[in-house]
Amino acid sequence: MSWKAKLRALTTAWRRGGTREVLRIAINLVKQGIKPGRRRGMQMRLEMDNAFDSERGTDTGGLISISEIEVVSGPRELAHRYQPCSPQLLRQTLDSLAINFPSYAFLDYGSGKGRALLIAGEYPFATVIGVEFSQALCAIAERNVACDKGPRKCGKIEVVLGDAAAYQPPSVPLVIFMYNPFAPTLVKSVLDTLIHSYKRDPRDMIAIYDTDCPSDLFLEQGFRLVSRNEVTVFRMGTAADA
Ligand SMILES: C[S@@+](CC[C@H](N)C(=O)[O-])C[C@H]1O[C@@H](n2cnc3c(N)ncnc32)[C@H](O)[C@@H]1O
C-alpha cells in the first residue's frame, strides 16, 4: 500500500472513531508492512527462543524495547533493545578459540536476561560475568543462572548491575562479548576503559562482536582483526599472555 493510501486510511479512521480507531488501523498497517521473509525470520527466532528456554527451564527469550525497562544508571538513549543472542553462533565462535579456558574470564557487556552467560557457562571459564543496567533484567538473569538445567563447566557466574561504561574489568585474560548492546559512542567508552586496563596490566583480550560491528573503533584502539563472519572477532595480546 502506498504512503498516500495509508494516510487516507488513517484520515478516514480518525473521522470514523478518533484516536482509538487511528491506533487500531496504524497497528494493522505496521503488521501488513512486515515483509513475509522478515515475518518468517521472526517466527524462526521465536521458535529458537522457545526451544532454548524449554530445554533449559529458563526465561531468556523475547524482545524488550528500552522504553519498557527502568535503568539504574547510564545513557538510556544510547542503549539497544534486549534481544537474546543466537546460542549456535556464540558456541561456534567459542569453539573456534584455541585458548586455555580456565585462564580466562568471559565478560558480556549488556547481559540482559543472561543467555550468553549460560552459554559461556558451558565452557570451563574461570568466571563468567555479565554487566547490565536494568535491575529487572539482572534479576531475571540471576534466576536463570540459578535454575538453568544446561551443562555447567565454568566457575562462578556473576551478574553485575550497572552501566557498562563504568564497569572496571578484572585483571585477568578476557573473552569479551558484545551482542549489539549499545551505540558506537558507548562502545568507544567501554573500549577506552578496557585499553586503560590493558595498559596497566597487559594480558590476552579477545573481543567477540555480534551484529553491526563498529570495527574501526576496535582497530583504532589497537585490537587486531581475527575473523569477520556473522560475528567479528578481535584480539589484543596472544594466548602466551594468558
Ligand atoms: C541485544 S541485548 C544483549 C543480550 C545478551 N548479551 C545476550 O547476548 O543474550 C543488549 C542489552 O544491553 C543492555 N544495555 C544497553 N545499554 C547498556 C549500558 N549502558 N550498560 C549496561 N547494559 C546496557 C540492554 O538493556 C540489553 O539488555
Lowest pLDDT segment from 66-70, 129-133, 144-148: 66-70
Residue 169 has pLDDT above 90, yes or no: yes
Give residue 109 CA to ligand 1 midpoint distance, Å: 6
Rounded mean pLDDT of 179-204?
97
DSSP state of 81: P
Residue 142 has pLDDT above 90, yes or no: yes
pLDDT given at position 148: 98
CA 143 to chain centre: 18
C-alpha cell at 236: 589484543
pLDDT given at position 120: 98
pLDDT given at position 48: 76
Residue 34 has pLDDT above 60, yes or no: no
74 φ/ψ sector (left φ>0, alpha ψ -120 to 50, else beta): left
C-alpha cell at 39: 515475518
Mutate to test the pocket of ligand 1, among 111, 142, 160 (most ligand atoms within 8 A of CB): 111
**What domains lie within the chain, and their CATH numbers?**
3-52 (no CATH), 76-241 (3.40.50.150)
Give residue 11 CA to ligand 1 midpoint distance, Å: 39
- The confidence band for 31, taking pLDDT boundaries of 50, 70 and 90, is low
Give residue 129 CA to ligand 1 midpoint distance, Å: 13
198: exposed, middle or buried (Cβ count in 10 Å: 0-12, 13-18, 19+)? buried
Rounded mean pLDDT of 125-131?
98
- Give the position, in ligand 1's atom list, of the atom nearest the Cα of 110: 12
User: Nearest residue CA, atom 6 of ligand 1?
Assistant: 111
Q: Which residue has the higher pLDDT, 86 or 49?
A: 86
37: exposed, middle or buried (Cβ count in 10 Å: 0-12, 13-18, 19+)? exposed
Residue 64 three-state SS? strand
DSSP state of 125: -
- Give the position, in ligand 1's atom list, of the atom nearest the Cα of 112: 27
Mutate to test the pocket of ligand 1, among 106, 142, 176, 179 (most ligand atoms within 8 A of CB): 179
Q: Give the pocket of ligand 1 (CB within 6 Å).
A: 74, 79-80, 82-85, 108, 110-112, 115-116, 131-134, 137, 163-164, 179-182, 186
Give residue 112 CA to ligand 1 midpoint distance, Å: 5
Sheet with strand 174-179: strands edge to edge: 156-161, 127-132, 105-109, 174-179, 205-210, 231-236, 224-228
pLDDT given at position 183: 97
CA distances from 233 to 173, 194, 224, 229, 236 (A): 15, 16, 9, 9, 11
Q: What percent of the chain has pLDDT over 70?
A: 92
- The confidence band for 32, taking pLDDT boundaries of 50, 70 and 90, is low
Mode of pairing for the β-strands spanning 174-179 and 231-236: unpaired
CA distances from 76 to 85, 162, 163, 164, 211 (A): 20, 12, 10, 12, 20
Indicate the average pLDDT of the chain. Answer: 91
Cβ partners under 8 Å of residue 173, min gap 6: 99, 103, 104, 105, 203, 204, 205, 237, 241, 242
Q: What is the pLDDT of residues 74-90, one digit of tens each?
A: 899 999 999 999 999 99
In angstroms, the CA 210 to CA 34 distance is: 24
| H helix intervals, the chain | 3-33, 36-56, 87-95, 115-120, 135-147, 184-200, 215-220
Mode of pairing for the β-strands spanning 205-210 and 224-228: unpaired
pLDDT given at position 207: 98
Which among 80, 149, 67, 144 has a CA at the least distance from the CA of 113?
A: 144
User: Nearest residue CA, atom 15 of ligand 1?
Assistant: 79
Rounded mean pLDDT of 179-206?
97
| In contact, 187 and 161? CB cutoff 8 Å | no
User: Nearest residue CA, atom 5 of ligand 1?
Assistant: 111
